[in-house]
Structure 1
Amino acid sequence: MSEPVKPSRTSAASSQRLRMRRELAAAAMELFATKGYEATTVDEIAATAGVARRTFFRHYRSKEEAIFPDHDDTLVRAQAVLDAAPAHENPLDTVCRGIKEVMKMYASSPQGSVERYKLTREVPALREREIASVARYERLFTRYLLGHFDEAAHREAGSDFDEPLLAEVAASAVVTAHNHVLRRWLRGGGVGDVEAQLDQAFAIVRRTFGTGFGANRPAGERSAASASREGEVLVTVARTDAPLDEIMRTIEQAIHRDG
């Protein structure tokens, strides 16, 4: 009989770190709600969590940072989604899946998320911290989309955007769609199928910005499928591993363009 696998020291330390960050965040939320943000000190947050002041500063640089305990880890998970993207997934779809890690973070604790949302609406310093967190996701997704720009697909779509602008605007659109749905869900008390609402918002983003990016492969590689007319013959070139729906979509576009 095999022995049970013991968790590594690294994973145990990571879990302990996350638990302490969340305990400090809960203490901060409790004090902000009862005493007010300005009147609450770091020493009080640490004491409420049952730890020393220096422990607080091992996990957070300031009291406003304690309100957003999971963004660092969520950013890592979003990066992991991008790194493990399927070979033929549209990069914009990959980015949409990446930002879903943020929604999962909020949805894992609806009541706490609602309370945090109310607090950030009231305290300018917390709003600024929230904006800074959003900017980190936008930068991550912009870099990813820039690395998957497909010039041939871009020209075929007839887009007027240049490469950096398209990547930045598309990344911003994904994050904006996510935040719009998230805020609406939080204002409604954190109830309802928020992921279904998010998918509807992403469908709009895909229709608007879904062209110009190749499948998940280095920029500049040939599209999985291309089509052109030679006389009365429609010529299609596709990799053997190209998805059927992509091949059919390419053929349909060629017919409509040249028909």
Structure 2
Amino acid sequence: METLRERKKQRTRDALLRSALELFTTQGYEHTTVDEIAEAVGVSQRTFFRYFAGKEEAAFAVQDMAEARFVAAVRERPPHEAPMETLRQAVLEGWDGLSEAIEAVVPVELYVRMYRAIESTPSLLAAHLLRSAATEETLARLLAEREGVDVDADPRPRLAVAVFGGVIRVTERQWCTGDDFSLEAIRELTASYLDQVGSALTGNWRVT
């Protein structure tokens, strides 16, 4: 059972995270200092560093949580599922729990604004791509283990994850630039875009 001390620490961390994301998205990541984040919550810089190694860790905290939940969901999928179906169901069925987890920390609208800030800030975008590559490697190795293949000899796990990751990036960008930030909107976009992968890769796109 969570103690009073643990709840207080979680509230402080959540407050620092919300403060950081609000400042990053209103005045810019590069122009925001740790002191400003801590001051907005009424704590010291030292307290900030008890919870986050630095600004970058705070900037990606919610995304890291989301990616960790997705990897866990993939691990829990039934072993008989084909790899792409496993990825598809893990993301589509996981949106409900993920949305609740995000809302428990920050509003979804702030999460969306932070995603836009990452996309428009060179240093954050570079870090995001590195983090995404690491997550994709984890997923590829997980799929290889599930299927009983050698990830370094068989290209299929990495190819499947690369295609899936590309679809998710396109989906998130479309969702974040639209007007509907609802759970249903991103679920529908994700399903629709995943359904188009086959024809996009093998079909003829020319309009006659």
SS at match of 2:61: coil
Rounded Cα–Cα distance in structure 2 between residues aligned with 1:207 and 1:134: 25
Question: What is the deviation of 1:120?
Answer: 1.9
Question: What is the deviation of 1:55?
Answer: 2.0
Q: What per-residue deviation string (whole Å, max 9, x for no partner) do you get for residues 173-218 of structure 1?
A: 1111011011001011343611011112223447899xxxxxxxxx
Q: Alignment identity in percent? A: 28
With the length of structure 2 as denominator, give the TM-score of the two structures: 0.74
Higher helix proportion (structure 1 or 2) = 2
Please name the residue that 2:113 is paired with: 115
Q: What per-residue deviation string (whole Å, max 9, x for no partner) do you get for residues 121-159 of structure 1?
A: 3321221232233223212210112113367xxxxxxxx
Matched, 1:9 2:9: no
Matched, 1:96 2:88: yes
Q: Give 1:134-145 correspondences, 5 Å limit.
A: 134-145=132-143
Matched, 1:184 2:174: yes
Rounded Cα–Cα distance in structure 1 between residues aligned with 2:155 and 2:31: 43
Q: What per-residue deviation string (whole Å, max 9, x for no partner) do you get for residues 202-256 of structure 1?
A: 23447899xxxxxxxxxxxxxxxxxxxxxxxxxxxxxxxxxxxxxxxxxxxxxxx
SS at match of 1:130: helix
Matched, 1:203 2:199: no
Q: Which moved more, 1:139-148 or 1:80-89?
A: 80-89
Higher strand proportion (structure 1 or 2) = 1
Query: How many residues in Structure 1 have an aligned counterpart in Structure 2?
Result: 191
Structure 1 runs not aligned, ≥5 long: 1-7, 152-161, 210-259
Rounded Cα–Cα distance in structure 1 between residues aligned with 2:25 and 2:142: 39
SS at match of 1:189: coil
Q: Give 1:223-242 correspondences, 5 Å limit.
A: none
Q: Give 1:3-42 correspondences, 5 Å limit.
A: 8-9=1-2, 13=6, 19-42=11-34
Matched, 1:164 2:157: no
Question: What is the deviation of 1:18?
Answer: 5.1
Instruction: Pick closer, same or farther for the CA change 1:73–1:38 going to 2, 3 Å.
Output: closer
Contact 1:21 1:69 in 2 (8 A): no
With the length of structure 1 as denominator, give the TM-score of the two structures: 0.61
Q: What per-residue deviation string (whole Å, max 9, x for no partner) do you get for residues 47-98 of structure 1?
A: 1122221221122222132122223333332232123222322232222334
Contact 1:181 1:197 in 2 (8 A): yes
Contact 2:16 2:41 in 1 (8 A): yes
Instruction: Pick closer, same or farther for the CA change 1:200–1:48 going to 2, 3 Å.
Output: same
Contact 1:185 1:194 in 2 (8 A): yes
Q: Which moved more, 1:53-62 or 1:28-37?
A: 28-37
Instruction: Pick closer, same or farther for the CA change 1:26–1:42 going to 2, 3 Å.
Output: same
Q: Which moved more, 1:139-148 or 1:21-30?
A: 21-30
